[in-house]
Structure 1
Amino acid sequence: MKRLREICLSPWFLIAAQILLTGAIAVGAVFYPYVSVAAYRLWKVVLIDLTFAICSGMLFAFTYFQKHPDCKAWHLDFPFFVGAGVFCALFFGGQAIAAHYAQPSLVCLIGASVALAFDLACVVAQDVFAVRRDRKFFLLITVPIVIGVYIGATLLSLATLPHGLAFKSLSKDRHAFAVASAEEFAVTDADKQAVTDFYKKYFDGFETPVFDFSLGGDSFRSVASQWAHRSEADIDTNIDRWYYTNPSALEVCLEVVLYEETLTVEWTVYLENKGMENSLEITDLYAMDAVIDVVSPTLYFSGGSNEANDDFALYSRSLGKKGYTFSAASGRSSETYLPFFNLCGKDRGATLGIGWSGDWTASFSHTDQTKVRVGQSALCGYLAPGESIRTPSVAVSLYAGGNPLKGFNRFRADIKRGLGDRAKESNMLMFAGAEGQDDTSRADAAGTREYVAALRSAGVLDALDYAWYDAGWYDTAGTGAWRGSVGDWVVDTQKYPGGLGAVGAYLEEYGVKTLLWYEPERVPVTSNLFKTVSATAGCERWLITSSCGDALWNMGDAEACAYMADRIATSLLENDVFYYRQDFNMDPKPYWEKADKEFYDGRTGFAENMYVTGEYAFLDALLNRVPDLKIDNCASGGRRIDLEMCRRAVPLWRSDYQCKKEETDLSEAAQYQTYGLGLWLPYSCITNPNASSEYDFRSLLGGYVMCYGDVLFYAKDSYVGFVRDYQTLKTYFAQNYYPLTPCTPRENFVAMQFGEETAGAVILYARDGAKGKKNVKLNGLSENKTYSVRTIEGVALKNATGADLMRNGVTISTEERTAYIILYSEE
């Protein structure tokens, strides 16, 4: 025992123990965010938690031993448990507090940092006590080692995973795309063959399903040949359905459709228990678990909307064996990343879109081919008799060649196809809202008449498509605030004595329709809706409550979903609404987790699955009941953008960064959003509450445009010019899109091109420091055709062939904070 004590007190043992224990904690810290958020597995989280606690207890006990080297061995049990207990209190307590204020990925990083900080404190204390006892201990060596481990592990945890705070900043965000002719961007036989091959491999028979899941621990693919098979084709919709049924009557249905005009394959998988008993446990349900024939690709992905000046920024990384796993983290699909991806190899590429308005996951890796997995982030449990679930929808398109812009424009075209008549270029003006406008005195019926008069006087009333009425149009007398009265939807008759229907009828006399704001899913406890439903027998599952405030309307309950659809549809019809604006100002994930326990027997992810499915049924019910209805998808500014929502709605308020009136870069942020989100969506919209100059207004140009009504009274001339610019350009924005320069907060000159090979427009933004001559090379033109190039004001710049414009470009002289519009057309 004496010899063992001497070994334990030796400097080399101390250093070895410190390195071993700190190394174990550092490894856990690196993988903790990944297994907690991006690829959640409970047993892995528990394993890391135990590693943290045990190592921390040992470090604390070893610290006590260095201070009291004469203590008996069994005396170390007490400091071990004290150390482990203190650590757990800090670790779990800190995460519990942080969960109320931060995103899950950041919460995990805070937890990992707590573990590393506790580790560092113990090691430093050990060295201090050891040096006091014997000067030969290497305090100046061991402390830097531990600090290096601490910093290195933290940086790794921040940088190497998609949910790390530094992942985006260490990804490439400055892209200069290659110029190519219209002929190179055109659909080729190689494009068609690539999509045909993909379809035949995964959707032309039962042998190789594109999806997979585990049933009772067995992979579906390993037993699929033992299941009964049948198929059917819907001639009207071109949907093919492939059915698999096992002996216990669990039915799997794969719905797939090939859209030939955009060469896009889209599918969804449904599971239904048609038996009389609970099914075996379903886990690892992936709508896509397949390979795509793209070699050595660069993976392009975009950030989400997080109220930042770089929302929707485009990033890229080379894809290798290690791969990356992306996911949503809080229950809103595009808060962290957009669920859209572009894999571009040397000779072939593929785009992928995910339709899931909740927490999705997508993993990519590459060896000889590109491996892709897509699914709901977490789902585990049995299906009760008669119960069904579904996967996210997935859309894949393959393209020949190595230019990612071909894939981006194919993706945009498919989004436009899916929206059909539900999207059309529109000019909007906010007549009333609870926030954003400095002057809210016109937020009533009389104010509407003032706006109409001002528009007529300015000569732009005939160019207005929609009058926008945001939050606050309803009676707020019970709470005194627009947030607290959400859900009641009773028109404030003090503001609108004849109701909004009368306002809508008045506007229609001038050819203007009404857009109206709602938020059906968030139910404040102060609202009459909450009080009524919570007191009604039989409605216990209609609301998912929280001790933190607002309740969540449970779209996963069929009766609750139908009730809300009827309530909103009735209000839309009564108020003569043509554009339904749906907001969603809450993170639903904690509510879904609570509902899993209360309503679904603890089955992970089932509340989310039912809710998201119900959300789509709710929106479809509105579209079916209200003639020619169009939908705006807001969700705190662009935080629920995904394939399914983009089949039904357009994000007209794409980022809440524009709510920050104190910021001085709102025009640049709007440019950034157009640049990044425009790669995926042909339609979106935003405004700038501080817009006053031509530069500000031209920064808002896009498929849809919107301004606060105040501009008519403080920046009328600039607004009138803006409207005329939009009327000239509006059809171009839903056509092809070519970024002509990089676009980051670091750039002082940004150029974007919209249109087709026959005609289009280039918008150039000369930011601070951009004075001087600038040259831009156009893209996507026909090499042998001749084009006329002029400014929007009519000044001729150049007559040249497409080849010349793509090779030599157009040169203009710029001034700082000025926006230029160049038009081109085929002669």
Structure 2
Amino acid sequence: MFLAIASLLCCAPAGAVLDIPQTPVQDAVMASAAESASLLDWADRAFGNPSGVGSGLELTLRRQDHSVLHVNRSCIETPLRIGGRAFDHGLGTHSNSEIAVRLPDGAQRFRAFCGVDNNDDTGGKRGSVVCSVEVDGKECFRSDVLRGGDEPAHVDVEIPAGASELVLKVDGTDDGPACDQTDWADAEILFADGTARRLDEGQSDTLLGVNGPPFSFVYGGASSDSLLSGWQRVSERKDTDAGPAYAATWTDPATGLRVAAEARVFAPYAAAEWLLTFTNTGSADTPILESIQALDVALRSGYAKNPLLLHRNSGDSCDDRSFLESVETVAAGRAFRMAPVGGRPSNQAFPFFRVQYGAEQVVAAVGWSGQWAASVERSGEGPARLRAGMEETHFTLHPGESVRSPRILLMPGGADTWALQNRFRRLMLFEYVPKADGRPVALPAALQCFDRYVWTRDDWATEAGQLAAARFAKSAGFDTLWLDAAWFEGGFPNGVGNWYYKPKAFPNGLKPVGDLCDELGLKFVVWFEPERVAKGSEIAREHPDYVFGGGEGGLFRLDLPEAREWLTELLSRRIAESGIDIYRNDFNIDPLDYWRRNDAPDRRGITEIRYVEGLYRMWDDLRARHPGLMIDNCASGGRRIDLELCMRSIPFWRSDTNCSPSHCDWNQAQTLGMCPYVPLNMACAWQPDAYEMRSAGTAGIICQWHYMDESFPLEEGRKALAEVMENRPYWYGDLYPVAGFSPDEGHWSAFQFHRPDLDAGLVLVFRRAKSAYTGLAAGLRGVRPDRSYEVTFIDGDHGRTEKTMTGAELGDAELRLPKARGSLIVRYRAAG
């Protein structure tokens, strides 16, 4: 068989050059000028100079008992209307409220119309308030009782020279606060030079609120909300091509605790990221620092009757639920909390999610490769808070000691969910994922047959077997050979901790295999699981002090610098001597109990922090020592995916559902669940048929083919693999679902990838085995209705039909699959 494989090399198909974009297209998917300006203003208020920002008058909402203060709409988000008169400008509030306006020099008069807003809730008759205006503490205007349906009261107040503050008050009456929605319409300040400034001008009215730093903690039993205003604050802003970068610090003069925030804004995306560091600059241990929330922001979901939605992902559970999307409704007075299981960040939870309120949304990502937690908590009046951080922090810091927080990324946006999700995909692709030559990395097409052959073919996991596998991979059209957990003494799982080669199976190590891969133009992937140590393994015997669990085995201690440095050196040596191009790091252990058992009562969370910091340092050191090295992030499949590891690695093996065959429909659903947040990931096909290969193919693919069998259909495999490789460039474009997210075999699945830079795209369509439907209306996005496109339809037998269609025809095309368990590919490109 091995000689036959070698004879096929001359038949290998030529792969097309992979066209990967380098920068995003500046189109309607990207942030508008208004969205970018709003986010910049938010970041300035959060991390920059806390006063004097924004283009409008300085307003401070000191009190509002219900909902939130809105600009140019009522507090229940309806157009401003008092009695029978509609207004385009003004402030929408609710009793009891107090709005303070800092008066600029030259302010001479304040004018407005006030009254109960006329909407479906007040019904033109409900609600009663009294409005008043104060200047420097002196009341200058007080209305009669204003009731629902009354015409607006006119306000005209003279402002004395030198006055500094104007206060607008709304007080309820004896009938209670119900329906006391009140407007200050056409509110403006007139100046001595004849100009006027409306109070609504330049005011932010978005879902993402800010009234202080967007994080919180408890220190010495006191909340940071009450502490930080009394601490020394320093902020520096540096403008970059992408947007401003901030370095802000808050220092406690009493104990020397310094909180540092490093933040940056991606202006074209209207996104902000930050990372906190806590340092004890004093000479004694600090008081207890606890409940650190790296993200703690207000969500201005003001109207209690309007739903606040949390769109979340289930993470990996190695079943049909892996990476499924779900929606939670957070009603007024309720909360919803998320956290992974066991310390791996995407183990049955996912640190990427989206919050939606009406026509506004915020995408959030947490970068923490440990036990994070996030919550959305909504008050009974309607407003909410979004929080995220480590699940448990309660510790003192020693003199000179520093710890870091999870990394936070926020991207607010409007009503178009998939414009926002694709803006986030672009941000991940062009600013976060690993690069090669300035572009997002190209993913491999890999032959990987561990699960198929390691238990059934003794001749596979040998030097001769892997040399033959490399030759077959080249002949079939793969660009990568993948050797999983089959090369080290003791085997999987009992040999983890023995990171040396099986002497009989690989007497020369893996160098001969790596050398042949290099000669054939293949990349070489090799599996390691360095953080889990089996009892009796070399590490457990010779370095028990490097293991949580000692000689009995357990978790390798990446929290210890000397242990991490030793392991980094070992891995680096294996990478170099074996010619490894892709380092595969698996992690089949829940670390949380090990971390927490190691913590002292006054140091809860420190072991986890040091471990996670050690993981980042080890991977960063490996990438620095081996330029071009790719890291495959695996943890029993896709259970350790988060923003930080997406900056360093790609989840090639996104779920252990790939370890067994017959999960095509799950693969389709996983693609739709993961790719809105993690654009580069991979899955595995066990057979070379079109349905399975199309279900598993992404920007790369893994195949566990039965290539060692004489009956293997090589030509079918070549054809199916070539098709997947031709599809790869489209996966770097925008994603639009065409059919549902469910893995149910009675449904269809379909999704579109559109490359706006090429005006070209790909549609993958699947009719599952138990679906009774034979057609699907495409409803494609991105194509231009009046433009001509060259369209190729590729059926399940790889037969092709070419057509020229207008964008309108293509967008509304009916896609038909007459047979169940059928698939269709549609590729299109603008003509001319």
TM-score over 0.5 for the pair: yes
- 1:577-613, Cα deviation, whole Å (9 max, x unpaired): 110100011111110111114xxx5522221122112
What is the aligned partner in structure 2 of residue 307 from structure 1?
318
- 1:267-303, Cα deviation, whole Å (9 max, x unpaired): 1111011222110011111111112456754321100
| Farther off after superposition, 225-234 or 702-711 | 225-234
C-alpha separation in 1, matches of 2:499 and 2:268: 42
From 726, 739, 742, the counterpart of 1:728: 726
With over 3 angstroms needed to count, the CA separation of the structure-2 counterparts of 1:546 and 1:752, relative to structure 1, is farther
CA drift at 1:314: 0.7
What is the aligned partner in structure 2 of residue 702 from structure 1?
698
CA drift at 1:500: 1.3
What is the aligned partner in structure 1 of residue 494 from structure 2?
484
TM-score normalised according to structure 2 size: 0.71
What is the aligned partner in structure 2 of residue 635 from structure 1?
635
With over 3 angstroms needed to count, the CA separation of the structure-2 counterparts of 1:307 and 1:278, relative to structure 1, is same
Within 5 Å, give how 1:171-190 maps onto structure 2.
185-190=29-34
What is the aligned partner in structure 1 of residue 161 from structure 2?
none
- Structure with the largest fraction of helix: 1
C-alpha separation in 1, matches of 2:670 and 2:377: 28
C-alpha separation in 1, matches of 2:290 and 2:467: 58
**In structure 2, the residue corresponding to 1:337 is in which secondary structure?**
coil
What is the aligned partner in structure 2 of residue 544 from structure 1?
548
With over 3 angstroms needed to count, the CA separation of the structure-2 counterparts of 1:586 and 1:813, relative to structure 1, is closer
CA drift at 1:765: 0.8
C-alpha separation in 1, matches of 2:801 and 2:335: 50
- Structure with the largest fraction of strand: 2
With over 3 angstroms needed to count, the CA separation of the structure-2 counterparts of 1:602 and 1:245, relative to structure 1, is closer
2:578 matches 1:578: no
Within 5 Å, give how 1:75-114 maps onto structure 2.
none
Within 5 Å, give how 1:227-376 maps onto structure 2.
227-232=231-236, 239-247=245-253, 248-292=255-299, 296-321=307-332, 322-366=334-378, 369-376=383-390
| Farther off after superposition, 557-566 or 434-443 | 434-443
C-alpha separation in 1, matches of 2:523 and 2:290: 48
C-alpha separation in 1, matches of 2:470 and 2:656: 28
What is the aligned partner in structure 1 of residue 763 from structure 2?
762
2:557 matches 1:560: no
What is the aligned partner in structure 1 of residue 400 from structure 2?
386
**In structure 1, the residue corresponding to 2:828 is in which secondary structure?**
strand
C-alpha separation in 1, matches of 2:591 and 2:360: 38
Name stretches of at least 5 consecutive residues in structure 1 with no aligned partner: 1-180, 535-539
What is the aligned partner in structure 2 of residue 97 from structure 1?
none
**In structure 2, the residue corresponding to 1:608 is in which secondary structure?**
helix
C-alpha separation in 1, matches of 2:359 and 2:34: 10
What is the aligned partner in structure 2 of residue 773 from structure 1?
775
What is the aligned partner in structure 2 of residue 788 from structure 1?
790
2:416 matches 1:403: yes
**In structure 2, the residue corresponding to 1:635 is in which secondary structure?**
coil
User: What value does the CA root-mean-square deviation take over the aligned residues?
Assistant: 2.5
Contact 1:785–1:801 (8 Å) recurs in 2: yes
With over 3 angstroms needed to count, the CA separation of the structure-2 counterparts of 1:345 and 1:197, relative to structure 1, is farther
With over 3 angstroms needed to count, the CA separation of the structure-2 counterparts of 1:428 and 1:386, relative to structure 1, is same
CA drift at 1:250: 1.1
C-alpha separation in 1, matches of 2:656 and 2:483: 17
* Regions of 4+ moved over 6 Å: 234-238, 433-437
From 425, 446, 450, the counterpart of 2:468: 450
Specify the code of the residue in structure 2 equivalent to 1:704. Answer: G
Contact 2:489–2:500 (8 Å) recurs in 1: yes
C-alpha separation in 2, matches of 1:519 and 1:361: 26
CA drift at 1:489: 1.3
C-alpha separation in 2, matches of 1:565 and 1:471: 19
- 1:463-494, Cα deviation, whole Å (9 max, x unpaired): x3221111121222xxxx42222123112232
What is the aligned partner in structure 1 of residue 540 from structure 2?
530
Contact 1:433–1:443 (8 Å) recurs in 2: no
C-alpha separation in 1, matches of 2:584 and 2:417: 33
2:807 matches 1:802: yes
C-alpha separation in 2, matches of 1:362 and 1:456: 46
C-alpha separation in 2, matches of 1:454 and 1:394: 45
**In structure 2, the residue corresponding to 1:364 is in which secondary structure?**
strand
Contact 1:474–1:492 (8 Å) recurs in 2: yes
Name stretches of at least 5 consecutive residues in structure 2 with no aligned partner: 1-24, 52-211
Specify the code of the residue in structure 2 equivalent to 1:408. Answer: Q
CA drift at 1:668: 1.2
CA drift at 1:625: 1.2
Contact 2:301–2:383 (8 Å) recurs in 1: yes
Specify the code of the residue in structure 2 equivalent to 1:698. Answer: R
With over 3 angstroms needed to count, the CA separation of the structure-2 counterparts of 1:711 and 1:700, relative to structure 1, is farther
What is the aligned partner in structure 2 of residue 76 from structure 1?
none
With over 3 angstroms needed to count, the CA separation of the structure-2 counterparts of 1:451 and 1:473, relative to structure 1, is same
Contact 1:206–1:242 (8 Å) recurs in 2: no
CA drift at 1:772: 2.5
**In structure 2, the residue corresponding to 1:191 is in which secondary structure?**
helix
What is the aligned partner in structure 1 of residue 223 from structure 2?
219
With over 3 angstroms needed to count, the CA separation of the structure-2 counterparts of 1:182 and 1:637, relative to structure 1, is same
C-alpha separation in 2, matches of 1:336 and 1:809: 38
| Farther off after superposition, 444-453 or 613-622 | 444-453
What is the aligned partner in structure 2 of residue 469 from structure 1?
483
With over 3 angstroms needed to count, the CA separation of the structure-2 counterparts of 1:555 and 1:494, relative to structure 1, is same
What is the aligned partner in structure 1 of residue 743 from structure 2?
745
C-alpha separation in 2, matches of 1:209 and 1:457: 58
TM-score normalised according to structure 1 size: 0.71
CA drift at 1:658: 2.6
| Farther off after superposition, 756-765 or 436-445 | 436-445
**In structure 1, the residue corresponding to 2:269 is in which secondary structure?**
coil
With over 3 angstroms needed to count, the CA separation of the structure-2 counterparts of 1:503 and 1:449, relative to structure 1, is closer
**In structure 1, the residue corresponding to 2:387 is in which secondary structure?**
strand
| Farther off after superposition, 665-674 or 418-427 | 418-427
Within 5 Å, give how 1:28-177 maps onto structure 2.
none
**In structure 2, the residue corresponding to 1:721 is in which secondary structure?**
helix
Aligned residues: 623
CA drift at 1:388: 1.8
C-alpha separation in 1, matches of 2:603 and 2:727: 51
Contact 2:370–2:608 (8 Å) recurs in 1: yes
C-alpha separation in 2, matches of 1:266 and 1:666: 37
CA drift at 1:693: 2.3
C-alpha separation in 2, matches of 1:800 and 1:642: 41
From 419, 425, 446, the counterpart of 1:412: 425
CA drift at 1:723: 1.4
Contact 2:700–2:725 (8 Å) recurs in 1: no
With over 3 angstroms needed to count, the CA separation of the structure-2 counterparts of 1:335 and 1:653, relative to structure 1, is same
With over 3 angstroms needed to count, the CA separation of the structure-2 counterparts of 1:454 and 1:517, relative to structure 1, is closer
What is the aligned partner in structure 1 of residue 135 from structure 2?
none
C-alpha separation in 2, matches of 1:580 and 1:519: 10
With over 3 angstroms needed to count, the CA separation of the structure-2 counterparts of 1:813 and 1:305, relative to structure 1, is closer
Specify the code of the residue in structure 1 equivalent to 2:761. Answer: G
Specify the code of the residue in structure 2 equivalent to 1:201. Answer: R
What is the aligned partner in structure 1 of residue 521 from structure 2?
511
With over 3 angstroms needed to count, the CA separation of the structure-2 counterparts of 1:434 and 1:454, relative to structure 1, is closer
Contact 1:434–1:470 (8 Å) recurs in 2: no
